[in-house]
Amino acid sequence: MLQLLGEYECRIDSKGRMRLPSGLLSQLNLDGDEEKKSSFVLNRGFENCLMLYPEEVWTEISKEVNALNQYDPKNREFVRYFYRGAQRVTLDSADRILVNKRLKDYAGIEKDVILSAVNDRIEIWAQEKYDTLLDEEPQDFSGLANQVLGNQNGDQEV
């Protein structure tokens, strides 16, 4: 199972290209198969960030999404939104990916970005939005952790 870690400052050039940092690339175990090495899916994420999925992670997530009941209107809405904007991207010889204008506009990205590795995927944030997000961290992180993780053993919160 892939477990990515770290925050990385990057820049998007005037042509929309962004170089993935070597510290992140080394975690992706990009040895061997050239196609697997360079293949990702870039898509809209939550809270106006972009998500960069390694190809094998995207494949697993897609299986879950594709298994949803298409007769349920909420499921159809989710599926449409989830796939809207998704595109395959590959690393070029300089370890860069191309971020198209529509996705940059969605995320409010102009030049400076933060890549935040989250589990098996990478969030791409406009630096200003990421800094604002950090400023708005919950003051009671311990309480949030208890709400989210406190019921892991099946205990019910009262």
Q: Is 40 exposed, middle or buried (0-12, 13-18, 19+ CB in 10 A)?
A: buried
Take residue 20 and report the two structure tokens written for it.
């993935």
Q: State the average pLDDT for the chain.
A: 88
Domains of the chain: 7-139 (3.40.1550.20)
Does 33 score more than 70 pLDDT?
no
Q: What is the pLDDT of residues 109-146, one digit of tens each?
A: 999 999 999 999 999 999 999 998 877 776 777 777 78
pLDDT at 36 over 60: no
Mean of the pLDDT values across residues 99-104? 96
Q: Residue 158: which pLDDT band, with cuts at 50, 70 and 90?
A: very low
Mean pLDDT of all residues in 24-43: 75
Residue the block writes with tokens 């919950």 = 138
DSSP one-letter code for 68: S
